[in-house]
Every structure is written in C-alpha cells, then in structure tokens.
C-alpha cells in the first residue's frame, strides 16, 4: 500500500509542478496587465492634473487682471470723491462767509 501511495505521489509530482508553473505564468501575466493599466491610469491622471493646473493658472491671471482694473477704478473714484468733498467744503465755507448767509446759519443753529 505504501508503494502504491509513493507511485501516486511520484506520478502527481510532475503534474503539480507543471500546474504550479502554469499558475505562476498566469499570475505573472495578471500582474503585468495590472501594472500596465495602473501606469496608464497614472499617466492619464497626470495629464489631467497638468491640464487642470494650466486652466487654474489662466483663471488666476484673468482674476488678477480684473482685480487690478477694479482697484484702479476704485482709486480713481476715491480721488474724485476727495476732490468733490474738498470743493463742497470750500463752497460751504465761502457761503458762510457771505453776509446774506450769516443770518441763515445763525437761524439754523438756533433751530437745530
């Protein structure tokens, strides 16, 4: 009986070895395919990231230009308002200095 088991093991040994070798080949092919598809995904991801970064850079430049123009307009309006404020004060002081307005300003002060 032991001899029969030994013969069976000897007969199965090469089959098991070839089966393991075939399984290794299949697994290596699978690893190769997975690695190849992983590299493809990584390359596409890198390309998408570069495109997104370029789009973001363009958007940032556009936003910076808009902010620069808006700041220039706000500065111009501020200067204009300061000029108008100075003119209004000068005009108010000139009107208060006139004799006809002195009475009006004292009446307004009494009423206020």
User: Residue 6: pLDDT band by 50, 70, 90 thresholds?
Assistant: low
Range of the domain at 14: 2-111
The pLDDT, as a whole number, for residue 53 is 92
Mean pLDDT calculated for residue range 77-95: 87
3-state secondary structure of 1: coil
Alpha carbon 78 to chain centroid, angstroms: 33
For 97-110, how does the pLDDT look when each residue is reduced to its tens digit (9 = 90+)?
877 766 655 555 55
d(CA 7, CA 1): 10
Question: And the tokens for 67?
Answer: 């902010």
d(CA 11, CA 17): 11
Whether the predicted model's global pTM rises above the 0.75 cut: no
Rounded to 5 degrees, what are φ and ψ at 25? -60, -45
Q: How many domains does the chain have?
A: 1
What is the DSSP secondary-structure string of 42-84?
A: HHHHHHHHHHHHHHHHHHHHHHHHHHHHHHHHHHHHHHHHHHH
For 9-23, how does the pLDDT look when each residue is reduced to its tens digit (9 = 90+)?
666 677 777 888 889
Conformation bin of residue 33: beta by default, left when phi > 0, alpha when psi is -120 to 50: alpha
């Amino acid at each position: 009986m032991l001899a029969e088991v030994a013969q069976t093991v000897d007969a199965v040994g090469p089959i098991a070895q070839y089966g393991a070798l075939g399984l290794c080949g299949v697994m290596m092919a699978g690893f190769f395919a997975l690695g190849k598809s992983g590299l493809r995904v990584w390359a596409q991801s890198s390309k998408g990231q570069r495109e997104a970064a370029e789009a973001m850079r363009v958007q940032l430049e556009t936003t910076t230009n808009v902010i620069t123009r808006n700041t220039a307009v706000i500065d111009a309006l501020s200067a204009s308002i300061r000029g108008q404020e100075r003119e209004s004060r000068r005009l108010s002081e000139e009107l208060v200095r006139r004799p006809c307005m002195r009475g009006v300003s004292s009446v307004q002060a009494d009423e206020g």
